[in-house]
Amino acid sequence: MIIGRHCQPRLRRTQRLSVTGASSPLATSRPLSHRMGPHMDDLLFSYADETTPRFKRSVIRTVERLTGQPELKRIYLDNQLRPRAGESFWSAAVRRLRLDVRFDAARLAALPKTGPLVIVANHPYGVLDGLVIAWLAERIRPDFKILTHAVLLRAPEAAPQLLPVDFSGSPAAMATNLASRAAARDHLAQGGCVVVFPAGGVSTSPDRLGRKPAQDAPWQPFTAQLIEKAKAAVAPIYFEGQNSRVFQIASHLSLTLRLALIFHEVRSRMGAELRVAIGAPIDGSDLARAGDRRAQMAELRRRTEALASDLPAGRPPARRGEALKSRIATVTAKLNLSPKRA
341 CB neighbour count, 10 Å cutoff: 4
Among 8-22, 80-94, 113-127, name the most confident range. Answer: 113-127
Instruction: Look at residue 341 and tell me if it is in a domain.
Output: no
Instruction: Look at residue 324 and tell me if it is in a domain.
Output: yes
Instruction: Look at residue 342 and tell me if it is in a domain.
Output: no
Choice among 20-29, 51-60, 65-74, 312-321 with the minimum mean pLDDT:
20-29
Instruction: Look at residue 293 and tell me if it is in a domain.
Output: yes
| Number of domains within the chain | 1
The CATH number of whichever domain residue 37 belongs to comes to 3.40.1130
Instruction: Look at residue 102 and tell me if it is in a domain.
Output: yes
Residues 6+ apart with CB under 8 A from 46: 60, 61, 64, 69, 151
Band (312; pLDDT cuts 50, 70, 90): very high
pLDDT, tens only, 22-32: 332 223 333 33
Instruction: Look at residue 340 and tell me if it is in a domain.
Output: no
The dihedral built from the CA positions of residue 181, 184, 186 and 189, taken in this order, carries a sign that is: negative
pLDDT, tens only, 262-309: 888 999 999 999 999 999 999 999 999 999 999 999 999 999 999 999
Instruction: Look at residue 284 and tell me if it is in a domain.
Output: yes
- Residue ranges of alpha helices (H) inside 121-170 are 128-140
The phi and psi torsions of 143 (rounded to 5 degrees) equal -85, 10
Determine the structural domain holding residue 222 and report its residue range: 3-334
With contact defined as beta carbons under 8 Å apart, do 59 and 260 qualify? yes
pLDDT for 258 equals 87
Instruction: Look at residue 242 and tell me if it is in a domain.
Output: yes
The phi and psi torsions of 111 (rounded to 5 degrees) equal -70, 150
The residue with greater pLDDT, 52 or 24, is 52
